[in-house]
Homo-oligomer: A and B are copies of this chain.
Amino acid sequence: MSEPSDGRPLTYAGAGVSIDAQDRALAEIKRLARATFTPGVLSEVGSFGGLFALEPDNPSGTVLVASADGVGTKLRVAQMAGVHDTVGEDLVNHCVNDILVEGARPLFFLDYLATGRLEPGVAARVVEGIARACRGKGCALLGGETAEMPGFYPPGEYDLAGFIVGACRRDRLLRREEVCPGDALVALPSTGLHTNGYSLARKIFFEVLGLRPDSELPGLGRTVAEVLLAVHRSYLAAVSPLLDGGLVRSAAHITGGGIPDNLLRALSAGVAAEIFLDSWDEPPLFRLIREKGRVPEDDMRRTFNLGVGIVLVVAEEHTGEVLERLVPHGPGWVIGRTVQGSGVHFLEHRG
């Protein structure tokens, strides 16, 4: 990360993350994984959560939904700022959302915390955040691994990964196959970057703008650390009642790949999504990143959530009820609709 800032536009690939190389590796990984599949496996690798039927022949049996995630380089911001008790919340909430969009509610969580030399206070703060996020969600922190790996991580640095297992009755799983043209796309707001785009954001804030974690962000009235460490929101409380009510057809957690890549994973074949760009005010943080980094629009859309944390695909006739039920959790809005076709398309305004 030593490239000088020379006024060139910044892209995610330029910040060191190659989405294409990731895609190629992912294809090979999928092939290898597929060869291990047993009759219980219902999902392809690359879904938001992996689906495993405990009773493969029972159409209403329990399906376990599992996901593994990391926090990415948001960790670096936390470590620069000395704030260790929120990254665990980020991690749990990320995992919770990943299985929620499959229709599952959490059962338990395990963490992996790796560091060079264990600073017990730091490890406890990290786990404190994990435990705080687990409580109240019916999610037990069932175990984990705290690995001390001398010489592997520099002093003060650590990596953190999480694994969640949830459950869903098989006939209550969300099924992208049920998405039809004419469905509404209902968005719920994100709280910030959540856990994606930090390599690029760090480059812009700390290298291009030369800010420090405690610098006040121009025009936002909050420090860089406060804005960048805003906790990844859990949508469990908001979305769970909608799942109970059978009001959601499919859903996308907006993480790496942004709205285009993630929403695509929630659509059936032959169905496209139209996103109305005039349906929401992008939070100032994203405008700042776009302007100061001169980030091309396509990179913005594939790197950041742009203020959208989750998108629900809802039958047109249920849209009113869904929006109403979301109000107590912070309102959602209709961000677009499905049409015949393929892909995710951004429209300046509703056609």
Pick from A26-34, A263-271, A314-322 the stretch touching chain B: A26-34
Q: How far is the CB of A38 from chain B (nearest CB, A)?
A: 5
Residues B110 and A112 in contact, CB atoms below 8 Å apart: no
Task: Give Cα A124 to B149, complex, Å.
Answer: 24
Q: How far does the Cβ of A126 sit from chain B's closest Cβ, in whole Å?
A: 9
| Cβ contacts under 8 Å, A22 to chain B | 118, 146, 148
Q: How far is the CB of A285 from chain B (nearest CB, A)?
A: 21
CB contact list, A100-129 vs B, under 8 A: 107-108, 110-112, 114, 116-118, 120, 123-124, 127-128
Sample (22) of A-B pairs whose CB atoms are under 8 Å apart: A16-B116, A16-B117, A18-B118, A24-B120, A25-B118, A28-B123, A29-B123, A32-B127, A32-B128, A33-B140, A35-B135, A36-B134, A38-B138, A41-B108, A45-B143, A52-B142, A64-B108, A72-B149, A110-B163, A112-B112, A159-B159, A163-B163
Contact size class for A?
Answer: 35 or more
Cβ-defined partner of A150 (8 Å) among B1, B50, B112, B167: B1
In the complex, A54→B61 CA distance in Å? 12
CB atoms of A29 and B152 under 8 A apart: no
Q: How many copies does the complex hold?
A: 2
Given the known interface contacts A116-B16, A127-B32, the answer about A163 and B108 at a Cβ–Cβ threshold of 8 Å is no
A interface secondary structure, majority: mixed
Q: Are A140 and B41 in contact (CB under 8 A)?
A: yes
Contacts of A49 in B (CB 8 A): 143
A21 partner residues in chain B, CB cutoff 8 A: 118, 120
Asked if B118 and A15 make an inter-chain contact with CB atoms under 8 angstroms apart, the answer reads no
Contacts of A240 in B (CB 8 A): none
| A131 in contact with B32 (CB, 8 Å) | yes
11 extra interface residue pairs, beta carbon distance < 8 Å, beyond A45-B141, A47-B143, A112-B163: A32-B141, A33-B144, A36-B131, A38-B108, A67-B143, A68-B111, A68-B112, A68-B163, A69-B145, A70-B114, A149-B199
Looking at the complex, which one of B29, B35, B138 makes contact with A144 (CB distance below 8 Å)? B29
Nearest to A118 among chain B residues (CB) is B21
A40 near B107 (CB under 8 angstroms)? yes
Given A36-B135, A68-B110, A140-B52: A25 touches B124 (CB 8 Å cut-off) = yes
